[in-house]
Amino acid sequence: MSKRSVGPFSVNPVGLGCMNMMHAYNAPISEAESDKLLNRALDLGYDFLDTATIYGLGESERRIGKFLKHRRDEFVLASKCVLGFSDGKRTLDGRPEAIISACEASLKRLQTDVIDLYYMHRPDPNVPLEDSVGALAGLVEQGKIRSIGLSEMSADMLRRAAAIHPIAAMQSEYSLIVRNPEIAVLEACKAVGTTLVAFSPVGRGLFAQTPVNPADYWEGDMRRSFFPRLAEPHFSENMKLVPAAREIADALGCSMPQLAIAWTLAQAPEIVAIPGTKNIMHLEENFGANDVTLDPDQITTLNAVFAPEAISGPRYSPRGQASVTTELFPFE
């Protein structure tokens, strides 16, 4: 699969999401394991690494800076602000002065002079979007960041932001079990020249080769309470759809994660996927999705089986849903 554009950059369609190293699904991996994982990613050809201030309360950024500073010219580096931390607690602050301060802190942790793509991780309802984007535009002018992104925001917010400054990327969850970008965001991305960066394309593990039973989730696993589709009673209902995907994966001779990622990439040439993992074997497997091509009939079958109305449970808990503005289907 040929490279795809993210703002001024050209990257492989499969990038690396760097949240999983530090939290969300299982216990964080060690520094030594992070070193091996990150360097193996670059060796394989991953050239787009996506992290954020909030991941591990800065620890994901720090490890990327520590272990990849000698290879900085080999990858496009993305990070995020607005969602941050203070005194070990999560914060949400989209004020211009907070964005400028967060960028300086991220630059230090990442041990770099410039961040290639800097996102607003979430909208701050207490700060006009235009003010936040204006601060990011100022950071571009200063050479602290090279391009601007948004995350988990609506098509309207994307258009408003693009009126202030070109928006290189809109990050949104997009997979066979989360198709909300199809409502309006994907069309808006095409209209304003923005790449959709799809996170969790493997359905937060639903399309793993061997999915984890919710009863076996780690005690701190966010799927226990934050992502209802991955917890009971919805997990079992959604798993009933998976054999149809497995049949297609077997016909293609690929793994389930590769099929899920390839489906996401097949939806539009303006999409880049960023599956995350702590596991080097999975890292290698995910990158192999670059070589998987689905035919139109296979895509049609998957689209029908995993129609949005066929998915059981909400995408987020009420608390999680309240923090995003991505459009909902009428039945959600």
The residues that are catalytic are: 55
Q: Residue for token digits 């016909």?
A: 251
> What's the CA dihedral at 231, 292, 118, 157 to 10 degrees?
-70
DSSP track, 301-330: HHHHHT-GGGS-S-SS-HHHHTT------T
Closest CA to 17 of 151, 127, 145: 151
Distances 190 to 64, 167, 196, 267, 269 between C-alpha atoms, Å: 31, 11, 9, 12, 10
The torsion angles phi and psi of 236, rounded to 5 degrees, stand at -60, -40
Structural contact between residues 13 and 262, judged by C-beta atoms closer than 8 angstroms: no
Structural contact between residues 310 and 241, judged by C-beta atoms closer than 8 angstroms: yes
249 CB burial (10 A radius; 0-12, 13-18, 19+): buried
* Beta bridge partner(s), residue 148: 118
DSSP class of 88: T
83-86 and 89-92 beta bridge pairing: antiparallel
- 77-139-51 Cα angle (round to 5): 25
